[in-house]
Amino acid sequence: MMMSSEVKLAFRLSIPTLFAYGPLGMVFSILWLQAGFPGYAAPLISLTTYAGAVQFLALSMVQEHASVFSIVLAASFIALRNSFYGLSFIERFKTKPRWLRGFLMFGLVDATYAILAANPKSEQQNDNAFCFYVTLFPCLYWVGGSIIGSLLYQYLPVINGIEFILTAFFLVLVVEYYLAGRDKWSLVMPLLFSFVAYALFPKEYLLLAIIACVVFLTLQFKCIKQSENLS
Amino acid sequence: MSAYLLTVFASLCGLSIVTRVLPFVLGQHLAKSPRVRYVGKKLPAYIMLLLVIYEIDPGTFAHWPYAIPALLSVAVVILMQVRCRQVLLSLVVGAGAYIALLKLFTT
């Protein structure tokens, strides 16, 4: 079978994610097993919850036998950030077939969001296939990492710091967005908001900083509108 | 798996579905608003920087090595990307620098 150009492109774009989600998925399984829980459950959780930070948080909370309610509440502060990711793709996903739409929505995690946002729909490629593979690969890395982790957890070497590749990936996109748009606010506001939010509410600062950015952009839109009306 | 674990992780699965489908359910009329489209277009750049900060973790600034390895590696990645514009090269050199610096500062 010939591989379509969409698969190849999606794979190439997902390589940084491989080095981040793969090892992290493994680490999740290793910690899960070390906590004394059954190994088969770890990949299942990675597949059905598919949210790195939420899984690590939940793992530490179930070890302390926290109530289901408190776990879901704490997790929702992390999970809610994904609700804002969809805002960028309402139009793009609208025309997709039903099953694909569902998969794309569920699979819209940090890395997928980053890749899809940086690679808008283009005439040269089949956007259905492209979106599908961009969403599929990170999911495979995460679940695959979890499977490998639970099978081989005694033998795995852990390289300290390999996860920085994901940080670097997000950072490269920051640089590229800046070079493309020269929007100084996009550098200043996230820094400002996250440090203020961290100082006030260190546990929920990410969600708060995202909300602050959304509010900031909404106000910015209003200002642009007003200055357009004036001129 | 115990009933407790099953309840916890079934709820978290539900949480993932609800939080990710939400904008699209609300979005049917949201998408028509030029304001939402403006925010949706501008937001990725902001979120990427927030994710960089999130990955570094502001908590690490409080104690040794004060996020120094991360900050130095961030500088390396920015420099590489601005100079060469080669994504994979920036990632490999950046992660390599981080792994080396982490070793240097913590052992």
Share of chain B above pLDDT 90, in %: 70
Cβ contacts (< 8 Å) between B19 and chain A: which residues? 76, 79-80, 82-83
The band of B106, judged by pLDDT with boundaries at 50, 70 and 90, is confident
Q: What is the DSSP letter of A4?
A: P
Q: Could you tell me which chain B residue has the CA closest to the CA of A63?
A: B5
pTM of the predicted structure, to 2 decimals? 0.84
Q: Cβ contact (<8 Å) for A164 and B103?
A: no
pLDDT per residue as tens digits for the range B40-63: 889 999 999 999 999 899 989 999
State how far the Cα of A157 lies from the Cα of A155, in Å rounded to an integer. 7
Whether B78 shows a pLDDT value over 90: the answer reads yes
Q: Is the dihedral of CA B64, B67, B69, B71 positive or negative?
A: negative
pLDDT of the residue at B74: 98
Ordered per-residue pLDDT tens for chain A, 231 residues = 457 899 999 999 999 999 889 988 998 998 899 889 999 999 999 999 999 889 998 998 898 888 999 899 889 888 988 899 999 999 899 999 999 999 999 999 999 999 999 999 998 899 999 999 999 999 999 999 999 999 998 887 777 888 898 899 899 999 999 999 999 999 999 999 999 999 999 888 888 999 999 999 999 999 998 888 876
Angle between helices B68-84 and B87-106 (to 10 degrees): 160
Q: Cβ contact (<8 Å) for A87 and B94?
A: no
Whether B4 shows a pLDDT value over 80: the answer reads yes
Type of residue at B50? L
Instruction: From residue A122, give the alpha-carbon distance in Å to each of A71, A119, A129, A131, A162.
Output: 41, 8, 12, 12, 33
pLDDT of the residue at A231: 66
pLDDT of the residue at A102: 96
Closest CA to B91 of B81, B99, B103, B101: B81
Q: Please list the alpha-helical segments (H only) found in A35-163.
A: 41-48, 52-63, 68-79, 81-85, 90-94, 98-106, 110-118, 127-151
**Residue B89 CA to its chain's centroid (Å):** 19
A82 — contact with chain B (CB < 8 Å)? yes
pLDDT of the residue at A92: 94
pLDDT of the residue at B73: 98
Closest CA to B4 of A62, A29, A42, A33: A62
In angstroms and rounded to an integer, the radius of gyration of the C-alpha atoms of chain B is 20
pLDDT of the residue at A93: 94
State how far the Cα of A213 lies from the Cα of A186, in Å rounded to an integer. 9
Q: Which of A19, A164, A170 sits opposite B51 (nearest CB)?
A: A170
Across chain B, how many H-helices and E-strands are there? Answer: 4, 0
Element (H, E) at A190: helix A185-200
Q: Could you tell me which chain A residue has the CA closest to the CA of B27?
A: A90
pLDDT mean over B29-33: 78
